[in-house]
Amino acid sequence: MAPAPADGGAESQRQADLLKQEGNALFRKERLSAAIDAYTGAITLCPNVAVYWTNRALCYKKRSEWAKVEEDCRRAIQLDSQSVKGHYMLGLALVNSQRLSEGIKALEKSLELGRGAHPASYMVEEIWQELSKAKYIEWEGLSRERASQLQKLKVVCKEALRNYNSLSNPAADAPEEQLNELEEVFKKAAKTDTPAEVPDHLCCKITLDIFRDPVITPSGVTYERAVLLDHLQTVGKFDPLTREALEPHQLVPNLAIKEAVQAFLSEHGWAYKIR
């Protein structure tokens, strides 16, 4: 039976919540069409509840219906601008619709919100993984474009060098030394796009990966926040390296390292590639 029209009353809210619970159960059983119908019923009854929209968007995400994911997530964000899932799935929808720069912005927003709410949650890690993939794809495209431009410029420069030398000796080629120097210049120009090792001071001592959300302990050691919080919760409340007693409230964001990482990634997009 179709749900009653939205009236804003407590009964409508109760029915909508029941439909949401039904949708959740159907989603867990991979019955996506039925789950979508249940969430749609909840939305019809109470259209101003953001979670109903993000739950339905999650079903559309499973079916890779990105236009519908985008539509539902934009509505959810209108209702709740702090919706981590709303910004996250909007980012995924935009990236999968070939709108990379827009998608990256939405993913960055969801990461910012997620870190503020639950810094050690699985979702923050999931968001970072997707953001890294998008950033790496962006870097690959820009890198190919820069490599093509450099190659064209190198050909032009070599030709100009030969023409310049031929003014004094039409039969002579450009000296080997000059060509080697030119080659070295272009090699240096391409260096930032050449994958290498990430500097040790930009990597967590536990994960050995580049920092995402670095925090510093009273001992002066910097760790990845989520990893250290997990250590404190599951292993014990002490610094993994110094073994000194440590509580979560003692962790302080290491802004200097965070800025250094951001500067490094902005110049070396290959470092976004997940191992």
Q: Name which of 271, 263, 257 is nearest 135 in CA terms.
A: 271
Residue bearing the bigger pLDDT, 189 or 111? 111
Residue 1 has pLDDT above 50, yes or no: no
Q: CA nearest 204: which of 223, 220, 218, 219?
A: 223
Residue 123 tokens read as 């979702």
In which element (H, E) is residue 114 found? helix 100-117
What pLDDT is attached to residue 176?
Answer: 76
User: Stretch 9-35: mean pLDDT, rounded?
Assistant: 95
The DSSP result for 168-236, as a single string, is T-TTPPPPHHHHHHHHHHHHHHTGGGS--PPPGGGB-TTT-SBPSSEEE-TTS-EEEHHHHHHHHHHT-
The strand pairing partners of 216, in sequence order, are: 222, 252
Q: How many whole angstroms separate alpha carbon 216 and alpha carbon 207? A: 15
**pTM for the predicted model, two decimal places:** 0.77
User: What's the average model confidence in pLDDT over 46-70?
Assistant: 97
b vs e for 76-91, b when ≥16 Cβ sit within 10 Å of the residue's Cβ? bbebbeebbbbbbbbb
AA identity, residue 127: I
